Amino acid sequence: MGGTRCVFRNCKVSSQRNPKMHFFKFPVRHPKRLEAWLKNCSNEEITELADLKKLANRAVCARHFRVECFMNYKMDRLIASQMPNPTLMRINKYLAWDIENLDTHGEPKMVKLEKPTAKHLIPPAEFECPLGFDSDDYADVTEEDEEMPDSLDADTIQTIDVKATKRKEDEEVEKPLLQQEKEELKQDTKRLRMLAFRLVDEGHSLENIEDEINTDVESVETSIQNAHDELQRKYDKLLDDHEQLKKSKASEMLSQTASSSSSLKTLTKTQLYQGLKKYLGPTMAALVRMEMFGGIDDREWQDDERQFAMELLQLGDEVYTYCSEEWRFRLPSLRLVRNWLNHQNDQL
């Protein structure tokens, strides 16, 4: 049999069985998209192909793309800018296995397909969907199917009881192929029924777990609030203690400063000079002593002071007079220093 055949997983769609179906070839010129297509198709037949030319001839049918990936309601062209990848394994017009939406076991989740809302994707009333699904025509409805529990979630489980759909086939379709597809759809129905009951049991378990979690959360929130209040009280107390400590420290520093100032004020000239002397050289110490005590009446000039005055006079009368009058050095009188100098020369 010729024509195009879909290579997405175990999809049985072909152009001969579904003449109105549109097929899309692999994007061999885009390595990243090609890798995504190969991964989602999960078909060893094409995964082992190393030749891109052979791979370019393989195709995926429109059933495996989300409706928003198409440019119009005919589903004959994809929007290239969206870089669409095949991600769905449609069961019927409203349900599909989503390859990109996995459960905790790493298996694809079953999702409900919403009707398109964009104007360019809404077909006219008389338009026949090329995907080959007829939502109003289900086959093999059993009494067991009608007794599905009413407690299932309406959004995801109300259509879970999938019936084998009658496809509008051309006269060329062979009966064995139709029978094979019918058996596969029955197997899907059984699997979905088991999934529905499992979801009901898990739903009850989740409710119990949620109640326990809510109780634990309330207990934890209360403990956290109590701990927060206790920490806030300790923090406020620490702030008060810190402020008191700052005030005490400031008061202590002020008292120390006041006592230091008073002690400095009570120092005598002699004590002050003795404190400065240890930081000065001999000549500078003599000069400071002359400045501090040179104005006292009946004070005898000490030897180092005499020596300093005589050395200064030897620099010249002008220098000695300048230091005495302009710089205001408290020096012995010029006449007295000259007498000291003459007496020293006579001894030599």
**Stretch 106-128: mean pLDDT, rounded?**
88
At residue 66, the pLDDT reads 92
At residue 163, the pLDDT reads 38
203 compared with 9, residue with greater pLDDT: 9
Four-point Cα dihedral 273, 274, 277, 282, nearest 10:
90
At residue 158, the pLDDT reads 38
12 compared with 164, residue with greater pLDDT: 12
At residue 204, the pLDDT reads 59
Give the neighbor-by-neighbor strand order of the sheet with 108-112: 88-90, 95-102, 108-112
Buried b (16+ CB within 10 A) or exposed e, 213-249: eeeeeeeeeeeeeeeeeeeeeeeeeeeeeeeeeeeee
Residue 138 bridge partners (DSSP): 165
Most confident of 22-26, 111-115, 126-130, 343-347: 22-26
At residue 61, the pLDDT reads 95
Most confident of 175-179, 204-208, 325-329: 325-329
Q: Over 80: is that where the pLDDT of 196 sits?
A: no
Q: Quickly tell me which residue has 């990936």 as its tokens.
A: 69
Q: What is the DSSP letter of 5?
A: B
* In contact, 3 and 15? CB cutoff 8 Å: yes
**Stretch 242-263: mean pLDDT, rounded?**
81
**Stretch 69-76: mean pLDDT, rounded?**
92
**Stretch 108-116: mean pLDDT, rounded?**
89
At residue 147, the pLDDT reads 36
At residue 192, the pLDDT reads 80
At residue 174, the pLDDT reads 52
Mean model confidence pLDDT for the chain? 80
Q: Over 60: is that where the pLDDT of 327 sits?
A: yes
**Stretch 306-312: mean pLDDT, rounded?**
92
At residue 187, the pLDDT reads 80
Q: E-strand spans in the chain?
A: 23-25, 59-61, 88-90, 95-102, 108-112, 138-139, 164-165
Q: Where are the domains of the chain?
A: 1-132, 137-221, 269-347
